[in-house]
Amino acid sequence: MQQSLLFVPEQRVFTVTELNGAIRATLDQEFQDLRVSGEISGLRMAQSGHAYFTLKEQESQIRCVCFRSTYRYLKFKPLDGIAVVARGRLDVFEARGEYQLMVEGLDPQGRGALQLAFEQLKQKLRHEGLFEANRKRALPKFPRHIAMVTSPRGAVISDMIHVLERRFPGLQIRLFPAQVQGEASVEDLCRGLEYFSRHPWADIVILARGGGSLEDLWSFNSEAVARAIAASTVPVISAVGHETDVTIADFVADLRAPTPSAAAEMLCCTREELLTRIAGCESRLLQAVRYRLSEGARRVGRLGTDRAATLLHRQIGRNLQRTDEKESRLRDAMRKRNAAWLGRITGLEARLRYHDMRPRLAQDRHRLERSTAALAQTATLFISKKRQRLETATAKLEQLNPLRILDRGYAIVRNAAGLVKSPADAPPNSEIQIRFAKGQLAAITSEQRD
């Protein structure tokens, strides 16, 4: 019986790295641009500046990472317990075999989260100095070219144009159409501000929008719009919402208007107000001209009637001036002469002091006193040295005195011829004298002994 052969296909064996790589490639292909809502939990900031946290719901969660290069540009900084919508893509962290969401953007959910994002951005821009009053520019008094960045539809644009035409007809207006709500609104608003900055046509730019909720006005709370306002080369008026609505754009703009219509009213005066100002200036000018003419007439009259007195005063003034000049020259001559006499007197005093004997005698007296003191010191030193030498010689002589030897029991024998040094010098029956340390004796020699 012929047996049939059974071929079993060989199963591929993945390594852990290959499997994680394949999963990663699949996730990269299928989940490129995601929007995931959830609550932030377990936020941890690494030393490198990367942020790690978890998006969780009641029964599920996903790990998230936001790298430093993305974290610095987030609309607001994540905090634990905040509901958000995270935008990003899925990735696999192969070292642990875990998939995670790589966050590229965060949008807050709910009014509390929006208010937190608003306060964070407000604090950041205030720290950078974008709200400082000294960087805000003054608006032109009589703008003729007015630019508007707002929606071309709705009551906002029509209200502002109506107010401007009513207050000052003939103004030139240009509109940059922009969305004021939604995802594309931030880009439109920035493009509008940049357009009027690049093209030097407008005298002023109005950034306007009608009222709405905090979510509706959120485009005017974005960092990009705030920085576009700060970078604008043209003064910007922020006219967003109603009077109670406050946005980041209001703080950065050169002027905040409560409403778009109020912005149009604040921008320029009415034609009647301008004509009234011109009439007032004309009246003041005519009054000033009449006053100048009156003053001129009075001066002409004074010149006609007082000319003689003026000429006399002039002549007197000239004479007084000549007198002052002569007095000045006389004073200078007297000063020079006094200086010359004073110089001669000073020279004579110097010569007299030179020939005065008292200083010389005083000097000689000092020299004599110094010489006497030196001589006395020298004599004292000389006598002291001689006395020291005498005392030294006396001590030596005292040590060499032969009489000192007698104190030790010796005696000196003398005869008429002198010292007796041997028996031969004192023969028998000769007279001798013996001197002791204390006293002396006379004796007669008897016989000689060796």
At residue 307 the predicted structure's pLDDT band, cuts being 50, 70 and 90, is low
**Arithmetic mean of pLDDT, 368-382:** 90
φ, ψ for residue 413 (rounded to 5)?
Answer: -110, 130
Model confidence over 276-290: pLDDT tens digits?
Answer: 777 888 888 888 888
Q: Are residues 150 and 247 in the same domain?
A: yes
Q: Are residues 89 and 193 in the same domain?
A: no
Q: Are residues 34 and 166 in the same domain?
A: no
Last residue of a domain, one of 109, 138, 158: 109
Q: Are residues 139 and 99 in the same domain?
A: no
Q: Are residues 224 and 260 in the same domain?
A: yes
DSSP state of 170: T
Q: How far is residue 90's CA from residue 278's CA, in Å, rounded to a whole number?
A: 69
Higher pLDDT, 66 or 446: 66
Q: How far is residue 315's CA from residue 163's CA, in Å, rounded to a whole number?
A: 71
Give yes or no for a contact between 226 and 117, defined as CB atoms under 8 angstroms apart.
no
Q: Specify if 325 maps to a domain.
A: no
Last residue of a domain, one of 109, 138, 156: 109
Q: Specify if 370 maps to a domain.
A: no
Q: Specify if 251 maps to a domain.
A: yes
Q: Specify if 64 maps to a domain.
A: yes
CATH of the domain at 179: 3.40.50.261
Q: Are residues 216 and 267 in the same domain?
A: yes
Q: How far is residue 437's CA from residue 105's CA, in Å, rounded to a whole number?
A: 135
At residue 2 the predicted structure's pLDDT band, cuts being 50, 70 and 90, is very low
Give yes or no for a contact between 238 and 249, defined as CB atoms under 8 angstroms apart.
yes
Total domains in the chain come to 3
Q: Are residues 238 and 135 in the same domain?
A: yes
Q: What is the pLDDT of residue 82?
A: 80
Last residue of a domain, one of 272, 287, 308: 272
Does residue 5 have a pLDDT over 60? no
Give yes or no for a contact between 157 and 185, defined as CB atoms under 8 angstroms apart.
no
Q: How far is residue 64's CA from residue 364's CA, in Å, rounded to a whole number?
A: 110
Q: How far is residue 427's CA from residue 433's CA, in Å, rounded to a whole number?
A: 14
Q: What are the tokens at 378?
A: 């020298």
DSSP state of 60: -
**Arithmetic mean of pLDDT, 241-248:** 84
Q: Are residues 161 and 91 in the same domain?
A: no
Q: Are residues 248 and 144 in the same domain?
A: yes
At residue 264 the predicted structure's pLDDT band, cuts being 50, 70 and 90, is confident
Model confidence over 310-361: pLDDT tens digits?
Answer: 777 777 877 878 888 888 888 888 888 888 888 888 888 888 777 777 777 8
Q: Specify if 5 maps to a domain.
A: no
Q: Beta 236-240 vs 204-209: how paired, if at all?
A: parallel
Q: Specify if 250 maps to a domain.
A: yes
3-state secondary structure of 96: coil
Q: Are residues 241 and 136 in the same domain?
A: yes
Give yes or no for a contact between 209 and 240, defined as CB atoms under 8 angstroms apart.
yes
Q: Specify if 380 maps to a domain.
A: no
Q: Specify if 322 maps to a domain.
A: no
Boundaries of domain holding 80? 16-109
Mean pLDDT of the chain: 83
At residue 195 the predicted structure's pLDDT band, cuts being 50, 70 and 90, is very high
Q: Are residues 152 and 34 in the same domain?
A: no
Q: What is the pLDDT of residue 6?
A: 54
DSSP state of 143: -
CATH of the domain at 96: 2.40.50.140
Q: Are residues 148 and 240 in the same domain?
A: yes
- Per DSSP (E only), the strands in 296-439 are 412-415, 418-419, 431-435
What own/partner pairs with CB < 8 Å and gap ≥ 24 does 122-128 have?
A: 122/248, 122/251, 124/223, 125/223, 125/226, 125/248, 125/251, 125/252, 126/251
